[in-house]
């Protein structure tokens, strides 16, 4: 059972997932904003003493979700001009938005800068020169954050962008050469720094050690630049449980361990007025979403029972193990609806999608009550990197619908059509 499921009565959850399937069809994604709000409140209660919260739109750019977040979060972080457009359609103030990404182009930078983008996160000298030229043409000075790529990251992160060749940010080894050139550009104003060097960690000690590395870098660079920064971004790296046996992070434990370091950092005169920002995505929305697919066919093959479903890796690439997973492990999933009389034996079954490829597998040897045609399966941790991180058009099956549930009320929040 996932932590998110534990926050909600199982029977109530299944009723809502079944209702969503009946009303909107399958496959679908169901996002529970009440669960997101609970997670946000937990973050503020434990880490809000030090950090404002920025949501990384790439984790789930659903417009209805962005609209729900508008008055609840401090900032948005976008990674493309398309995400900037989505943020504006959702009513976000551009001044509350930062823009990251290693390959920003003129056609997406110009409208963002021209419409009052809060901070441009610079990842290279090339990008800085392009932004300076655009700002000069518009007659403005653009606030910027410099993204720094550290030379190390502790063990314990699912993915890391430090101490190895990376497209992201300015390598710390090159900072002394590159930063003065950016600082000399007349239409850019450096207001802070940004680091995001590791993601999906379930180890509190690794997260805290990584943030200590950030603090060290921020102190050194700000002293060298003689910068009293307005904003410093801490890439959170906070992971979520995906697989059976994974334990959710202990936020209180993280706060207790890193709190003295953050207090000492904030006590330094240079940083007394600095706003520290925790940038995260999947931690906030991942456990609050479920991917629901219906069993179309049951096949018995060489001693294995296989449930073939109407949604697979085309809708949920991450759960199939093809979104950066080195060794494939099953996501937590369950059969929707209680077996009231315990008449269905639990057994190991393979869960596959509808595609003509052997990699279209949502689960291998998953222990569930015996599945039959028409049954619904809920794959957990579906709130982040779902539809937009999947090859939706592969083999041209129907698109998944997206449903937003707030206080038990459902709305069709589907973003992607079949055209």
Q: What is the pTM of this model?
A: 0.94
**Per-residue pLDDT band at 164 (split at 50, 70, 90):** confident
pLDDT score recorded for residue 341: 59
Same domain, 124 and 259: yes
Residue 396 falls within a domain, yes or no? yes
Condensed to tens digits (0 to 9), the pLDDT of residues 84-120 reads: 999 999 999 999 999 999 999 999 999 999 999 999 9
Specify whether the CB–CB gap between 170 and 123 falls below 8 A.
yes
Condensed to tens digits (0 to 9), the pLDDT of residues 168-210 reads: 999 999 999 999 999 999 999 999 999 999 889 999 999 999 9
Give Cβ neighbours of residue 337 (< 8 Å, ≥ 6 apart).
14, 18, 375, 376
Same domain, 265 and 330: no
Residue 67 falls within a domain, yes or no? no
For residue 131, give Cα distances in angstroms to 99, 113, 181, 267.
12, 8, 13, 34
Q: What is the CATH number of the domain that holds 317?
A: 2.40.37.10
**Per-residue pLDDT band at 5 (split at 50, 70, 90):** very low
Q: Which of 280, 309, 336 finishes a domain?
A: 280
pLDDT score recorded for residue 313: 96
Same domain, 229 and 142: yes
Q: What is the CATH number of the domain that holds 265?
A: 3.20.20.10
Same domain, 114 and 246: yes
Burial of 130 (0-12, 13-18, 19+ CB in 10 A): middle
* 381: containing domain: 287-412
**Per-residue pLDDT band at 3 (split at 50, 70, 90):** very low
Same domain, 200 and 333: no
Q: Residue 185 corresponds to which tokens in the numbers above?
A: 């550009």
Same domain, 214 and 293: no
Q: Which of 216, 250, 280 finishes a domain?
A: 280
Please report, rounded to a whole number, the percentage of residues in the chain having pLDDT higher than 90: 88
Same domain, 346 and 221: no
Same domain, 276 and 135: yes
| pLDDT surpassing 70 at residue 7 | no
DSSP string, 143-163: EEEEEEE-S---S--SEE-SS
Cα–Cα nearest to 142, from 181, 173, 114: 114
């Amino acid at each position: 059972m996932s932590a998110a499921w534990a926050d909600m009565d199982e029977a109530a959850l299944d009723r809502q997932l079944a209702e969503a399937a009946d009303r909107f069809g399958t496959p679908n994604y169901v996002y529970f904003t009440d669960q997101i709000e609970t997670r946000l409140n937990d973050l503020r209660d434990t880490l809000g003493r030090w950090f404002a919260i920025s949501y990384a739109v790439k984790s789930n750019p659903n417009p209805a979700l962005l609209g729900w977040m508008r008055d609840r979060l401090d900032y948005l972080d976008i990674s493309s001009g398309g995400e900037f457009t989505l943020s504006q359609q959702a009513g976000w103030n551009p001044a509350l938005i930062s823009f990251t990404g290693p390959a920003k182009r003129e056609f997406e930078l110009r409208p963002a800068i021209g419409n009052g983008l809060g901070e441009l996160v610079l990842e290279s000298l090339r990008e800085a020169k392009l932004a300076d030229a655009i700002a000069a043409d518009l007659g403005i000075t653009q606030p910027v954050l410099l993204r720094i790529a550290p030379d190390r990251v502790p063990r314990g992160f699912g993915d890391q962008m430090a101490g190895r060749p990376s497209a992201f940010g300015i390598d710390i080894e090159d900072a002394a050469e590159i930063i003065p050139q950016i600082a000399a550009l007349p239409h850019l104003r450096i207001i802070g720094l940004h680091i995001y060097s590791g993601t999906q960690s379930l180890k509190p000690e690794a997260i805290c050690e990584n943030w200590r590395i950030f603090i060290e870098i921020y102190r050194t660079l700000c002293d060298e630049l003689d910068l009293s920064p307005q904003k410093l971004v801490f890439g959170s790296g906070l992971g979520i449980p995906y697989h059976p046996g994974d334990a959710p992070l202990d936020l209180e434990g993280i706060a207790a361990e890193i709190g003295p370091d953050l207090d000492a950092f904030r006590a330094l005169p240079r940083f007394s007025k600095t706003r520290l920002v925790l940038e995260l995505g999947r931690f906030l929305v991942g456990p609050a979403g479920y991917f629901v697919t219906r069993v179309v066919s049951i096949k018995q093959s060489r001693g294995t029972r296989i449930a073939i479903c109407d949604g697979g890796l085309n809708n949920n690439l991450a759960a199939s193990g093809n979104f950066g997973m080195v060794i494939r492990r099953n996501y937590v999933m369950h059969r929707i609806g209680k077996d009231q009389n315990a008449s269905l034996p639990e057994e190991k079954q393979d869960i596959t999608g509808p595609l003509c490829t052997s990699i279209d597998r949502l689960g291998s040897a998953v222990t569930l009550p015996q599945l039959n045609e028409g049954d619904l399966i809920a794959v957990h941790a579906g709130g982040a990197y779902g539809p937009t991180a999947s090859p939706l058009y592969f083999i041209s099956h129907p698109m998944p619908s997206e449903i937003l549930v707030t206080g038990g009320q459902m709305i069709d929040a589907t973003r992607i059509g079949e055209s």
